[in-house]
């Protein structure tokens, strides 16, 4: 029989205050199989680990149970420790007596009894554990980045810099994301396009980067290190290699639609360049609005194109890429402001969202950077900014803080002041959140020196009276209701996951949080990784984020991937399904049950397991009618023994 | 077709023209409003304290009697009755304990209320059951050139769970006006309180509310206001006397019930007696526009 | 302009009474002020609805009970419909009024209203005022 050592952690007071560790030690010392038992304040500390190592050596232990916190936290710590001393890491079991016991109970006697049982089940499991070796699998050293905003661009550049090939998939006709729409960036007020376009150009010219624009991920197969991803590319109908960018086509196009780049504040044609610095630089046809697909109806652009670059017959194309790891950088959109009817967006042209105001501030915007309001082109002399428009409102809109609005709203107010010196900006706020580096100073300076008035309270209503926008708000500091006759109102809309990301999450089988943002593997310790192996997160796809944070996360995710790519092969957990060939009847039920395609019938009609593909989910094991399939180190015998202990 | 209808107190008193015009207009649409028997006051305001089951009794008694008369639903014209009856109904239907207590208390009615009566405002019936397009076809006298502000007040749209339309941006009233051929104009105060019962306790509060509401409508170009609540109608119309004294820039503006406009548009004409039930007589405006 | 905040006042029995009568959690309020900015009669109030909520969070129920604002509130439900935390503020105001009315404070005597001719006043108005102001 195995000689088992049990190590009970106090976790400071986290466990000790609710579980009587001394009594536990006494009771378990006489449990069959237990050769050695000890308790200690912090088992995860160096002295704690040394205690385990010393006991293995001196008492010749061949199985260890550490009763401590959840295995998601310290299982690997203890596995490494036992391996250092030569014990196979699968001869270690963690009994979770913190999250599943001490934290959720307060009766010491009962909690101690429960901890005792939890540890005994771990001992019973351990008794039948085999020593295992990780499964090795090959690694495709190519990376896919989904989303071509600042986060995606940064991640792609860093990975290409590390020497690996990158495939960047962007659903719009150009990379650049929302950052290309911005005027200047807080807190330094440097021009957004000036700092972004060099990166875009770098990316466009990088030989290691394959760019798919107008494209989306269609399907995925395989597993970490060995994905096969199908990309669907919508045609742009203009061959970028032939197009001379002369612009004759746009001049004759009869279709006029709202410009996405200018957030609906200006117009574009159905054949257009998304914006001057677009990458790839080419005209593209917007199929939803173009009339040319009915040759009788139109076809003007094709007639005037001397280079003969336009071809209406191009079809949607599909590409398959072999990929080792994927970064999701799908960014954000603004919460539809039409949902907040009391602010009158959509009804009044002089109520704008934050991105629209960015366009008005921008030199490449609809007014050429002049501060003019949309309704009548007049210079607005008083502007009201409304923060938390849809954020921090669990009842009707979004419960979370959108994190970037406090800063960009102040930036808006400042830039407005720089353009209209005698203008008066007012900012309605509930709290000011300025936690970033030099953010607070940015705000203080504006309030002291630039005449920006902050009003603490939420706006209830905005309506039009003559050519003014009347704003009814509250100043909770004086306790008085406030009315402002403004010329323009700007709403700091909540940040929401970008449109279409829900579908992508389904396609890639990823997880999202209750707001639709991608879920990280651990909120503090693994914020760059998805819960699903092989997927990494960058930028606002994971949650509202400003540019510095998006770039940091993108570089961080890239570093994670570079570390992965530096290995020759990937190692796969060996806790997977195994089949007893003599018992398998070849019914094939497991094949349909396996979500990973890891079960196949071999020539002898035995349903074997592909070790690389198997994720150890256990679905086939519970489905197997003959009991031929077993999970390694979690066999029926082990589970039965564990249940028996609990019921005894 | 017959529609069981609950009038409420004021439609039998100061708002008789509301009831009469409704009956006439509905007849033109081939619907007969049949008054339920033995109805009592609804209580006018829904009691909002959690321990006041007693204050729901007036409403529930009506529901119970409607059930006794084999009715499945009650059509209500007055916004306050609608709000009070419907909230009281929801209050007891959604909580079986409340329903049981109320039934036990009213044992003398010799019947227990099952909670199956549905409460509808006439506006919802016009929109959802009859359909505005059907009504449009029956319009004899289009209210063309009449610029009307639809005033919802509070109780048609709040609380949200019983709002007859989007509670922040409703359009059912405006759609009815367009159906009748009139021009509906949006104005900022259409969802704001008229002062309600403050008229008898703190009249200055109501007077200022009425001034602001009517002024906002005037500024938006409205020539008349339309409403569905006898209390709003009273405040908005009869307080114009006080508003005039208080605010020198004020100009009177007629306040209609929506059923009056329906009656005119559907060809029932204007009953002289209705004029006397208004403070600001709408008749001259209707004449000026050639509608009567 | 001085409040002595004491642990014993926070969530005292009076606060619990208000919460029980209204069915609302006073401590949900994070003071955004939306109730007050949308209130159509706030200009007649001595303290604003959000201040009443704040005072209640400090346990200073008496201060709200003696304020004018609870009687100015006309139960239009605008505050309740827009509260980002889903507090039915109008119910909280009703709870304050109810406590007063049950103690005989603020009860309106119809004879003192100076109404001589009831036929000119619609029943809906009188009944509704009486229901609200007599408890």
Largest Cα–Cα distance in chain C? 54
State the smallest CA–CA distance between residue B219 and chain A in angstroms: 8
Of the candidates B242, B184, B181, the one whose C-alpha atom is nearest the C-alpha of residue B211 is B242
Q: Is A35:A58 a contact under the CB 8 Å cutoff? A: no
Asked if A470 reaches chain C (Cβ–Cβ under 8 Å), the answer is no
Per-window interface: B 257-276 vs C, CB < 8 A: none
Residue with tokens 């089951």: B53
Sign of CA dihedral A100, A104, A106, A107: negative
Tell me the pLDDT tens digit for each residue of A566-593. 999 988 889 999 999 999 999 999 999 9
Same domain, B99 and B157: no
Task: Spell out the residues 6+ positions from residue B94 whose beta carbon is closer than 8 angstroms to its own.
Answer: none
Integer CA distances (angstroms), A455 to A350, B24, B145, in order: 20, 53, 43
Same domain, B164 and B102: no
Task: Name the band, by pLDDT with cuts 50, 70 and 90, for residue A80.
Answer: very high
Residue C49 in domain? yes
Residue from the list A341, A464, A466 with its beta carbon closest to the beta carbon of B169: A341
Kindly state whether A342 is in contact with chain B, defined as any CB-CB distance less than 8 angstroms. yes
SS3 call for A521: strand
What's residue A241's pLDDT? 87
| Distance to chain B for A470, nearest Cα, Å | 10
Window 462-521 of A: residues touching B by CB (8 A cutoff) are 463-466, 470
Residue A362 has pLDDT above 80, yes or no: yes
Contact A342 B166 (CB under 8 A): no
Please indicate whether, in this complex, the C-beta atoms of A465 and B168 are within 8 angstroms of each other: no
Residues B258, B186 within the same domain: yes
User: Which residues on chain C are in Cβ contact (under 8 Å) with B234?
Assistant: 121-122, 124-125
The answer to whether B197 contacts C128, with C-beta atoms less than 8 Å apart, is yes
B107, B170: one domain: no
The answer to whether C34 contacts chain A (CB < 8 Å) is yes
CB contact under 8 A, C36 and A481: yes
The CATH number linked to B170 is 3.40.50.11810
- pLDDT band with cut points at 50, 70 and 90 for residue C118: confident
> Is the pLDDT score of A293 beyond 80?
no
Contacting partners of chain B (3+ CB pairs under 8 A)? A, C
HEC states along A111-132? HHHHHHHHHHHHHHHHHCCCCC
Residue C97 lies in a domain: yes
* Run of H or E including A593: helix A589-593
In sequence order, the β-bridge partners of residue B91 are none
List the alpha helices (DSSP H) in chain B: 16-28, 57-68, 79-93, 96-105, 122-124, 132-137, 172-179, 198-201, 203-219, 230-238, 240-246, 258-265, 272-276, 283-288
Tell me: do B223 and B165 sit in the same domain: yes
For A477-505, what is each residue's pLDDT tens digit?
999 999 999 999 999 999 999 999 999 99
Residues in chain C: 135
Give the separation between CA A68 and CA A5, rounded to whole angstroms: 14
Domain of residue C96, CATH code: 1.10.1060.10
Chain A CB contacts of C42 under 8 Å are 481
| DSSP string over A187-231 | TTTEEHHHHHHHHHHHHHH-TTEEEE-SEEEEEEEEETTEEEEEE
Considering the domain boundaries, does residue B291 fall inside one? no
Inside any domain, residue B169: yes
Residue of B266, B263, B245, B231 lying closest to B15 (CA atoms)? B231
Complex-level ipTM: 0.94
C86/A460 Cβ within 8 A: no
Find the mean pLDDT for residues A266-283.
94
The answer for residues whose C-beta is within 8 angstroms of residue B1's C-beta and 6 or more apart is B30, B31, B32
Nearest to B212 by CA among B187, B234, B186: B187
| Residue A9, strand partner residues | A40
Quote the pLDDT of residue A532: 85
Give the burial string for A119-158 (b: 16+ CB within 10 Å, else e). bbbbbbbbbebeebeebebebbbbbbbbbbbbbbbbbbbb
Determine whether the interchain pair C38/A472 forms a contact, defined as Cβ–Cβ distance below 8 Å: yes
Q: Which other chains touch chain A, taking contact as 3+ CB pairs less than 8 Å apart?
A: B, C
Task: State whether C33 and A388 contact (CB < 8 Å).
Answer: no
What domains lie within chain A, and their CATH numbers? 4-127 (3.40.50), 142-234+316-331+498-565 (3.50.50.60), 248-304 (no CATH), 333-496 (3.50.50.60), 576-631 (3.30.70.20)
| Each residue's pLDDT tens digit, B156-213 | 999 999 999 999 999 999 999 999 999 999 999 999 999 999 999 999 999 999 999 9
Spatial separation of the C-alpha atoms in residues A292 and A58, rounded to whole Å? 83
Query: What is the domain extent for residue C131?
Result: 107-135
Domain co-membership, C127 together with C85? no
Cross-chain CB nearest to A342 (options B168, B186, B219): B168
| Domain termination site, one of B96, B122, B148 | B122
CA distance A398 to chain B (A): 17
Q: Quick check: is C8 in a domain? A: no
Judged against a pLDDT cut of 80, whether residue A301 lies above it is answered with: yes
B11 CB-side CA count, 13 A: 26
Output DSSP code: residue B129.
I
* Pairing label, strands A599-601, A526-530: unpaired
Percent of chain C as helix, strand, coil, to the nearest 5: 55, 0, 45
Pairing of strands A190-191, A184-185: antiparallel
Q: CA of C127 to nearest chain A CA: how many angstroms apart?
A: 31
B94 and B183 co-located in one domain:
no
CB contact under 8 A, C74 and B198: yes
Please give the average per-residue pLDDT across A352-365, as a whole number.
96
Report the residue of chain C nearest B198, measured CA to CA: C74
Instruction: Give the minimum alpha-carbon distance from C97 to chain A in angstroms, rounded to a whole number.
Output: 21
Q: Does residue C5 lie within any of the structural domains? A: no
* Pair C57, C82 in one domain: yes
Closest Cβ–Cβ partner in C31, C38, C47 for A460:
C38
A408: closest CA among A454, A379, A380, A439? A439
**Residues C45 and C98 grouped into a single domain:** yes
**Chain B residue numbers touching C42 (CB-CB < 8 A):** none
Section C67-82 average pLDDT: 96
* B37 part of a folded domain: yes
Tell me if B95 is assigned to some domain: yes
pLDDT for position A338 = 84
Tokens 């001259």: give the residue. Answer: B284
Number of B to C CB contacts under 8 A, please give it.
124
Quick one: C92 and C132 in the same domain? no
- Phi and psi torsions of C108, nearest 5°: -85, 130
Q: What pLDDT is attached to residue B24?
A: 97
Pair (C96, C41) in one structural domain: yes
pLDDT above 90 for A155: yes
Question: In what helix (H) or strand (E) does residue A56 lie, and over which residues does it extend?
Answer: helix A46-59
Contact A341 B219 (CB under 8 A): no
Structure tokens given for B289: 């526009």
Q: pLDDT at position B230, please?
A: 96
Residue C2 belongs to some domain of the structure? no
DSSP-derived secondary structure for A542-591: SS---HHHHHHHHHHHHHHHHHHHTSSEEEE-S--EEE-TTT-----HHH
Both C96 and C123 in a single domain? Answer: no
Asked if residue B130 is part of any domain, the answer here is: no
Q: Are B15 and C122 in contact (CB under 8 A)?
A: yes
Q: Give me the residue from A394, A459, A474 closest to C50, CB to CB.
A: A474
- C40 shares its domain with C19: yes
- Say what the pLDDT of residue B215 is: 96
Asked whether residue B245 is assigned to any structural domain, the reply reads: yes
How high is the pLDDT of residue A533?
Answer: 86
Q: Report yes or no: A341 at the C interface, CB cutoff 8 Å.
A: no
CA distance A469 to chain B (A): 11
Contact criterion met (CB below 8 Å) for A274 and A258: no
DSSP state of C12: -
Could you give the CA distance from residue A143 to residue A163 in angstroms, rounded to a whole number?
11
Q: How far away is chain A from the Cα of B165, in angstroms, using its nearest Cα?
A: 13
Tell me if B209 is assigned to some domain: yes
Q: How close does chain A come to B158, measured CA to CA in Å?
A: 14
- Contact call for A342 and B219, based on CB within 8 A: no
Which of the four pLDDT bands, split at 50, 70 and 90, describes residue A346? confident
Does any domain span residue C3?
no
C-alpha distance from B185 to closest chain A C-alpha (Å): 13
Cα nearest neighbour of B204 on chain C:
C44
Total domains present in chain C: 2
Q: Does A432 touch chain C if contact means CB atoms closer than 8 Å? A: no
pLDDT above 80 (res A296): no
A612 confidence band (pLDDT: 50, 70, 90): confident
Contacts of A448 (CB under 8 A, 6+ apart): none
Burial code (b: 16+ CB inside 10 Å, e: under 16) for A481-493 equals bbebebbbbbbbb
Mutate to test the interface with A, among B152, B158, B168, B218 (most CBs of A within 10 A): B168
Instruction: Kindly state whether residues B42 and B184 are assigned to the same domain.
Output: no
Chain A residue with minimum CA distance to B215: A465
Q: Are residues C30 and C90 in the same domain?
A: yes
pLDDT band at B111 (very low <50, low <70, confident <90, very high): confident
> Residue B170: which domain range?
136-286
pLDDT score of B59 more than 80: yes
Between helix B57-68 and helix B96-105 the angle, nearest 10°, is 80
Q: Of B70, B96, B122, which one is at a domain's C-terminal end?
A: B122
Number of domain units in chain B? 2
Same domain? B150 vs B260: yes
The set of long-range contacts for A116-121, using a CB threshold of 8 Å and a minimum separation of 24, is A116/A24, A116/A27, A116/A28, A117/A645, A117/A646, A118/A67, A119/A6, A119/A8, A119/A24, A119/A28, A119/A65, A119/A67, A119/A95, A120/A28, A120/A31, A120/A645, A120/A646, A121/A95, A121/A642, A121/A645, A121/A646
In C, minimum Cα distance to A461 occurs at C38
Asked whether residue B218 falls in the same domain as residue B78, the answer is no
- C81 occurs within a structural domain: yes
- Over residues A339-358, the mean pLDDT reads 93
The confidence score (pLDDT) of residue A494 equals 97
The SS3 call for residue A382 is: strand
The reply to whether B274 and B174 lie within a common domain is yes
Residues in chain C with CB shorter than 8 Å from the CB of B8 are 124
Q: Mean pLDDT across chain A, nearest whole number? A: 95
Q: Considering the domain boundaries, does residue B80 fall inside one?
A: yes
Is residue C67 in a domain?
yes
SS (H, E, C) A600-615: EECCCCCEEECCCCCC
Q: How confident is the model at residue A623, as a pLDDT?
A: 94
């Amino acid at each position: 029989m195995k000689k088992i050592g049990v190590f009970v952690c106090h976790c400071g007071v986290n466990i000790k205050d609710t579980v009587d560790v001394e009594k536990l030690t006494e009771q378990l010392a006489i449990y069959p199989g237990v050769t050695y038992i000890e308790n200690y304040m912090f088992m995860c500390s160096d002295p704690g680990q040394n205690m385990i190592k010393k006991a293995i050596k001196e008492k010749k232990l061949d199985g260890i149970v550490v009763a401590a916190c959840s295995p998601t936290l310290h299982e690997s710590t203890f596995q490494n420790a036992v391996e250092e001393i030569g014990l196979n890491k699968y001869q270690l079991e963690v009994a979770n007596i913190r999250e599943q016991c001490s934290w959720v109970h307060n009766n010491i006697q009962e909690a101690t009894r429960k901890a005792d049982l939890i540890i005994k089940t771990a001992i019973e499991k351990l008794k039948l554990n085999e020593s295992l070796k990780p499964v090795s699998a090959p690694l495709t050293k190519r990376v896919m980045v989904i989303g071509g905003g600042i986060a995606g661009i940064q991640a792609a550049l860093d990975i290409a810099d590390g020497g690996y090939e990158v495939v960047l998939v962007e659903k719009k006709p150009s990379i650049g994301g929302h950052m290309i729409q911005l005027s200047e960036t807080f807190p330094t007020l440097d021009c957004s396009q000036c700092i972004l376009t060099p990166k875009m150009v770098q990316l466009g010219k990088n030989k290691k980067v394959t760019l798919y624009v107008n494209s989306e991920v269609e399907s995925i197969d395989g597993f970490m290190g060995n994905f096969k991803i199908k990309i669907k590319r919508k045609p742009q109908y203009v061959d970028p290699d032939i197009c001379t960018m002369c612009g004759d086509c746009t001049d004759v196009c009869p279709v006029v639609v709202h410009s996405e780049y200018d957030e609906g504040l200006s117009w574009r044609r159905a054949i257009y360049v998304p914006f001057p610095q677009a990458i790839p630089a080419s005209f593209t046809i917007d199929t939803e609005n173009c009339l040319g697909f009915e040759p009788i109806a139109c076809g003007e652009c094709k007639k005037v194109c001397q280079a003969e670059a336009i071809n209406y017959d191009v079809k949607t194309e599909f590409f398959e890429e072999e990929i080792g790891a994927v970064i999701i950088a799908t960014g954000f959109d603004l919460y539809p402001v039409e949902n907040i009817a009391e602010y009158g967006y959509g009804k009044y042209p002089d109520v704008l969202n934050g991105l629209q105001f960015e366009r008005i501030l921008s030199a490449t915007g609809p007014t050429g950077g002049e501060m003019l309001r949309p309704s009548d082109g007049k210079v607005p002399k008083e502007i009201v900014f409304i923060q938390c428009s849809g954020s921090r409102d669990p009842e009707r809109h979004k419960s979370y803080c959108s994190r970037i609005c406090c800063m960009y709203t102040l930036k808006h107010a400042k830039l407005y002041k720089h353009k209209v010196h005698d203008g008066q900006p007012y900012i309605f706020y509930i709290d000011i959140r300025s936690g970033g580096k030099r953010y607070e100073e940015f705000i203080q300076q504006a309030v002291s020196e630039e005449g920006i008035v902050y009003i603490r309270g939420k706006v209830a209503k905005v309506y039009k009276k003559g050519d003014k926008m009347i704003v009814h708000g509250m100043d909770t500091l004086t306790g008085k209701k406030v009315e402002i006759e403004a010329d323009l109102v700007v709403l700091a809309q909540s940040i929401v996951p970008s449109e279409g990301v829900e579908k992508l999450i389904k396609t890639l089988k990823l997880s999202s949080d209750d707001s639709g943002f991608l879920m990280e593997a651990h909120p503090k310790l693994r914020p760059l990784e998805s819960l699903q192996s092989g997927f990494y997160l960058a930028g606002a796809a994971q949650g509202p984020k400003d540019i510095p944070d998006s770039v940091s996360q993108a570089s961080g995710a890239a570093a994670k991937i570079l570390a992965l790519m530096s290995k020759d092969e990937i190692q796969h957990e060996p806790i997977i399904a195994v089949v007893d060939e003599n018992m398998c009847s070849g019914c094939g039920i497991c094949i349909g049950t396996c979500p990973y395609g890891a079960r196949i019938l071999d020539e002898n009609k035995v349903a074997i397991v592909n070790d690389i593909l198997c994720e150890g989910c256990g679905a086939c094991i519970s489905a197997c009618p003959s009991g031929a399939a077993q999970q390694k180190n979690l066999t029926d015998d082990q589970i039965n023994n564990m249940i028996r202990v609990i019921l005894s | 077709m017959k529609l069981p209808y609950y009038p409420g107190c004021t439609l039998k008193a100061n708002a008789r023209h509301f009831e009469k015009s409704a009956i006439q207009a509905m007849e033109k649409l081939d619907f007969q409003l049949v008054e339920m028997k033995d109805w009592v006051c609804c209580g006018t305001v829904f009691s909002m304290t959690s321990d006041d089951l007693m204050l729901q009794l007036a409403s529930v008694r009506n529901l119970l009697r409607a059930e006794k008369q084999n009715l499945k639903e009650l059509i209500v014209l007055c916004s306050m009755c609608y709000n009070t009856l419907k909230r009281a109904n929801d209050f007891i239907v959604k909580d079986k304990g409340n329903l049981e207590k109320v039934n036990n208390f009213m044992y003398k009615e010799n019947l227990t209320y099952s909670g199956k009566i549905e409460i509808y405002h006439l506006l919802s019936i016009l929109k959802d059951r009859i359909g505005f397009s059907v009504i449009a076809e029956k319009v004899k006298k289009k209210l063309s050139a009449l610029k009307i502000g639809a005033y919802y007040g509070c109780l048609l749209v709040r609380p949200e769970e019983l709002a007859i339309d989007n509670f922040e941006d409703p359009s059912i009233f405006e759609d009815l006006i367009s159906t009748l051929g009139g021009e509906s104009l949006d104005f900022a105060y259409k969802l704001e309180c008229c002062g309600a019962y403050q008229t008898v306790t703190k009249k200055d509060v109501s007077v200022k509310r009425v001034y602001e509401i009517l002024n906002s409508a005037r500024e938006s170009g409205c020539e008349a206001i339309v409403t569905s609540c006898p209390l709003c109608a009273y405040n908005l119309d009869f307080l114009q006397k006080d508003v005039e004294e208080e605010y020198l820039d004020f100009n009177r503006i007629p306040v209609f019930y929506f059923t009056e406009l329906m009656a005119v548009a559907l060809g029932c004409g204007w009953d002289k007696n209705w004029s006397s039930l208004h403070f600001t007589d709408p008749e001259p405006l209707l004449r000026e526009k050639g509608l009567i | 302009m001085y409040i002595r905040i004491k642990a014993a006042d926070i969530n005292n029995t009076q606060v619990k009474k208000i919460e029980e009568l209204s069915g609302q959690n006073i401590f949900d309020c994070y003071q955004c002020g939306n109730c007050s900015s949308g209130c159509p009669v706030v200009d007649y109030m001595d303290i604003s609805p959000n201040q009443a909520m704040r005072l209640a969070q400090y346990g200073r129920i008496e201060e709200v009970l003696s304020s004018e604002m609870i009687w100015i509130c006309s139960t239009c439900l605008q505050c309740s419909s827009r509260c980002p935390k889903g507090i039915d503020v109008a119910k909280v105001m009703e709870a304050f009024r109810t406590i007063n009315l049950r103690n005989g404070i603020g009860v309106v005597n119809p004879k003192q209203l100076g109404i001589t001719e009831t036929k000119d006043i619609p029943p809906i108005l009188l009944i509704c005022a009486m229901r609200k102001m007599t408890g």
